[in-house]
Amino acid sequence: MSDIPTIKFNDGHTIPQLGLGVWKTPADETEKVVSTAFELGYRHIDTAAIYGNEEGVGRAIAASGIARDQLFITTKLWNEDQGYDSTLKAFELSLKKLGLDYVNLYLIHWPQPQADRYLDTWKAFQHLKEQGAIRSIGVSNFREEDLDNLIAKSGETPVANQIEVHPLLQQDALRAYNKKHDIVTEAWSPLAQGGELLKNEVLQKIAQKHGKSAAQVVLRWHIELGNVIFPKSVTPNRIKENADIFDFSLDSDDLKAIAGLNENKRLGPDPSTFSSL
Ligand code: NAD
């Protein structure tokens, strides 16, 4: 699967455009699932402290025999750990659980604007980057106003903003903002969590036309928009299917039809209000 494209961050590092997400992957299955993904050619894993499975990811990395510089590992700082000292502590624990001496990308999981702690958190991220323990620093679920504030006050633009994006929530405005500021959009729940969307008639028709599944059409749509994606699955056949999207492309009619599916419908929490503080 050497055909997975990479995208360049504003700090010069690169990220594989496709990876595996492990939210809700049970801790005791994670090592097996991640090992399967590695065997199928995946090299990018998206986890988070709150997923409770960093240790499983770490075990799969250790068992893989793959050179560290061939892997791209992302984890995220959970809401309750925001703040300078608490970030340093939480990061150390994540690194230990992963069994690594650096992560490729560390993200502030949610902005929690009302808690007003993401600037101190970001300072700790900058410190850890200077120490070499994090290659690239980014954010997740940040709105335009959060990004404006973070960039103005810290002088450092995040490399990526990981936000909910799928055909039912296309986020044209925030994606355009990210692009304008040279921030890579990472699309979480790229398959809209695999629900009703994949039965949609428009997607089914496009899938038939290309001899692909509806899931593959949706993932291909993300790739063509320039999003980084990490669909989640614990099923080997689906993990394989989700990476088999680099031998076809969507035409302008397909793209127009998928654009028409937008309902501005969130499946996850609203970043304006979501907080655990
Ligand atoms: P997803 O859109 O990737 O959907 C996953 C579900 O889709 C699976 O559980 C399965 O039921 C189904 N599925 C997977 N492959 C399929 C296929 N080929 N055919 C049919 N059905 C298929 O949802 P997700 O797990 O919510 O999102 C992906 C990743 O994004 C997560 O694992 C996590 O890493 C990340 N994420 C981040 C945040 C955040 O706040 N930053 C929030 C949610 C998810």
Catalytically annotated residues: 51
Residue nearest to atom 22 of ligand 1 (CA): 194
- pLDDT tens readout for residues 211-260: 999 999 999 999 999 999 999 999 999 999 999 999 999 999 999 999 99
pLDDT of residue 144: 98
For residue 275, what pLDDT is reported? 85
pLDDT of 195 higher than 90:
no
pLDDT score at 118: 98
pLDDT at 1 over 80: no
Per-residue pLDDT, averaged over 38-56, amounts to: 98
C-alpha separations of 148 from 61, 72, 105, 151 in Å: 36, 27, 21, 5
Atom of ligand 1 nearest to the CA of 242: 18
pLDDT digits (tens, 9 = 90+) for 122-175: 999 999 999 999 999 999 999 999 999 999 999 999 999 999 999 999 999 999
Q: Does 2 score more than 70 pLDDT? A: no
- How far apart CA 246 and CA 68 sit, in angstroms, is 25
Residues with CB under 6 A from ligand 1: 21-23, 46, 109, 140-141, 162, 188-194, 198, 215, 230-233, 238, 241-242, 268
Q: What is the pLDDT of residue 3?
A: 86
User: CB neighbours (10 Å) of residue 205?
Assistant: 13
Q: Give the number of C-alpha atoms closer than 13 A to the C-alpha of residue 152, restricted to the C-beta side.
A: 6
Q: What separation in Å is there between the alpha carbon of 193 and the centre of ligand 1?
A: 5
CB-neighbour burial class of residue 6 (10 A; exposed 0-12, middle 13-18, buried 19+):
middle
Res 276 pLDDT > 90: no
- Closest residue to atom 38 of ligand 1, CA basis: 188
Indicate if the pLDDT at residue 185 is higher than 70.
yes
The residue type at 23? W
Which of 102, 101, 123, 122 has its CA nearest to residue 13? 102
- The string of DSSP letters for the chain reads -TT--EEE-TTS-EEESB-EE-TT--HHHHHHHHHHHHHTT--EEE--GGGT-HHHHHHHHHHH---GGG-EEEEEE-GGG-SHHHHHHHHHHHHHHHT-S-EEEEEES---GGG--HHHHHHHHHHHHHHTSEEEEEEES--HHHHHHHHHHHS---SEEEEE-BTTB--HHHHHHHHHTT-EEEEESTTGGGSGGGG-HHHHHHHHHHT--HHHHHHHHHHHHT-EE--B-S-HHHHHHHH--SS----HHHHHHHHTT-----SS--TTT----
Global confidence as pTM:
0.98
Point out the ligand 1 atom lying closest to the alpha carbon of residue 191: 2
* For ligand 1, mutation pick of 15, 76, 193, 244 (most atoms within 8 Å of CB): 193
> Ligand 1 center to residue 84 CA distance, Å?
31
* Per-residue pLDDT tens over the stretch 5-17: 999 999 999 999 9
The rounded Å distance from CA 232 to ligand 1 centre is 4
Q: What separation in Å is there between the alpha carbon of 155 and the centre of ligand 1?
A: 33
By alpha-carbon position, which residue is closest to atom 3 of ligand 1?
Answer: 231
How far apart CA 83 and CA 26 sit, in angstroms, is 28
Distance 176 CA to ligand 1 centre (A): 23
